[in-house]
Structure 1
């Protein structure tokens, strides 16, 4: 879809054409928060502190018009409207991961905390393929009211919001506790002892899940 001259760079370069679509403020963060699966409007709004409902609505319209996002209505009796990435939109994942690695070298803001999507995407982007064989398995992460399925293959980890499966180990916690453990504010052992984290499963899969969660945040990374 052609863009107006006001919003287009008018440059045939692929970088410029890409920025015509995703260069608006909040657009890439909307994409980021849809990488793990569909979300409702209010879920997106709650995960993007500082964005107004009107701006978010406009970004979703823009991204939908240009084929990056699609809207799905579940219909009766749920009558829920979901937003999800198209196949073309999902191609932005490695670009966002590289941007995240580059941006992680910039100074941290004075305020703000990692949202659940950012935290889990850090785990995914920081996954070491060399450890795929030893961490191989399917795990379930329950954070507050949301459930995520983590599937580790030989060289890849896939994280899906809302999915369920035959998990070898399950971790139930809240976002503040998960942030505290991944951020090094408390140890995994202390969090388990205090009840902040609750594991279910056999010991070896629990150890694998622990390693998977902590590896991207360890000093060696």
Structure 2
């Protein structure tokens, strides 16, 4: 199991820039959802699978491995939890969540 690392060519970019490796990792199915759910609270595998509504066990296992390898997750007393790097990443994403809430409030409802 391997995640894209800074310096690696990734889907859509051969530059090896750290931001491109991060975007590749976060763009994988369920990666952001797993991080967001663990931002709410630590979780066991089964609890996390239930909270992610519809993720297959094999995909969840793969994502957990990649996110652990990227040092964004760790195993804690209550199951999987964000590492210090993972908490920092989610904190950086919170302004985007606020922007999305504002955007949704401004959208004109569909007929």
- For the criterion TM > 0.5, the same-fold answer is yes
Match of 1:91 in 2: 88
TM-score of the superposed pair, with normalisation by structure 1: 0.39
Gapped regions of structure 1 (runs ≥ 5): 75-80, 108-221
Tell me how far 1:2 sits from its aligned partner. 6.7
Structure of larger gyration radius: 1
Match of 2:72 in 1: 68
Q: Is the 8 A contact 1:11 1:17 kept in 2?
A: no
Does residue 1:23 correspond to 2:27, yes or no? yes
For 1:3-25, what per-residue CA distance to the aligned partner results, in whole angstroms no more than 9, with x for missing partners? 37565833233321221332212
Gapped regions of structure 2 (runs ≥ 5): none
C-alpha RMSD of the superposition = 2.6
C-alpha distance 67-41 of structure 1, shift in aligned 2 (>3 A): same
* CA–CA separation in structure 1 for the residues paired with 2:41 and 2:32: 15
Where relative contact order (Cα < 8 A, 6+ residues apart) is larger, the structure is 2
TM-score of the superposed pair, with normalisation by structure 2: 0.72
* CA–CA separation in structure 1 for the residues paired with 2:3 and 2:38: 24
Q: Which has the higher helix share?
A: 2
Match of 1:39 among 43, 53, 56: 43
C-alpha distance 71-95 of structure 1, shift in aligned 2 (>3 A): same
Q: Which has the higher strand share?
A: 1
| Paired residue secondary structure (2:86) | helix
Match of 2:98 among 98, 101, 105: 101
